Chains A and B, each alone.
Chain A
């Protein structure tokens, strides 16, 4: 357990965060972009938990922040999917390039 240094867990969360960024940059479909955002939020959760466990083992603040981030991610996903379904009804597409009414 103590043989894995904290930095290796941070490397893992960094890689996961940038995988999410790559998905957000390359995808043009709203649902897959939402999935990339979920990956990024999860990498932040790993950071919170790892810092709490390795640096401040007598406190619980990182755990609470992780629980709050999970809750907000659930609310955000629900609102985003409601918006996507509404957009699909009016535009018959969920590609971000097709929703350009408010662009200019």
Chain B
């Protein structure tokens, strides 16, 4: 076993353990911190695959953006020190069974299939290449999806502001009265 192989197994064990802790721990703030570690582990996996650009994007967007957003919303909505109520036992048993069955099923299918690489050229990725192909209008260019994504981001941003905007006090009280 070469050092690279050993490092891969260490990284994957780290990702799986922290991910499992993120979905099972009962303190919500700790769950978000475990999620943070799991996402950093995935960035390390990209580094291991020599995709430095993607690893940087992963760290900037997930670790710097989404996890911080989640932590902010935890502080805005619930008492972060309190423990969440335990999940119903029968529900967790059946979901664990379904998950184990699904994992076994997919792992068996993957292990029965042999993947053959189409070409054997070495994989080398430069940011230059990504940028050229992403803004290309000719064959295999990704300009149209790029523009669509930018419109989607703009729409999502405006939508977030509209949804989270504090509504009129009068409107809010009438809405609450109609609920009760």
- Our verdict on whether A and B bind, yes or no, reads yes
* Interface residues of A, Cβ cutoff 8 Å to B: 1, 3-4, 6-8, 10-12, 14-16, 18-23, 25-29, 31-32, 34-36, 38-39, 42, 45-46, 49-50, 52-61, 63-64, 66-68, 70-79, 81-86, 88-91, 94, 101
Give 23 pairs: A residue, B residue, CB < 8 Å, sorted on A.
Answer: A3-B2, A4-B8, A7-B110, A11-B107, A12-B45, A14-B110, A16-B19, A18-B102, A19-B20, A19-B99, A20-B19, A49-B54, A54-B117, A63-B125, A64-B130, A64-B133, A70-B57, A71-B152, A72-B152, A74-B65, A77-B70, A82-B160, A90-B176
Contact assessment for A32 and B23 in the assembled complex, using a CB-CB cutoff below 8 Å: yes
Majority DSSP secondary structure for residues of A touching B? helix
Residues of B in contact with A, size category:
35 or more
Closest-CB distance, A85 to chain B (whole angstroms): 5
A6-B115, A12-B15, A38-B62 are known contacts. Are A88 and B76 too (CB-CB below 8 A)?
A: yes
A6-B115, A55-B117, A63-B54 are known contacts. Are A35 and B156 too (CB-CB below 8 A)?
A: no
Contact assessment for B8 and A8 in the assembled complex, using a CB-CB cutoff below 8 Å: yes
Contact assessment for B66 and A74 in the assembled complex, using a CB-CB cutoff below 8 Å: yes
Contact assessment for B152 and A75 in the assembled complex, using a CB-CB cutoff below 8 Å: yes
* Interface residues of B, Cβ cutoff 8 Å to A: 1-2, 4-5, 8, 12, 15-16, 19-20, 22-24, 28, 31-32, 35, 38-39, 42, 45-46, 49, 51, 54, 57-58, 61-62, 65-66, 69-70, 72-74, 76-78, 84-85, 87, 91-92, 95-96, 98-99, 102-103, 106-107, 110-111, 115-123, 125, 129-130, 133-134, 140, 142, 145, 149, 152-153, 156-157, 159-161, 163-164, 172, 175-176, 179
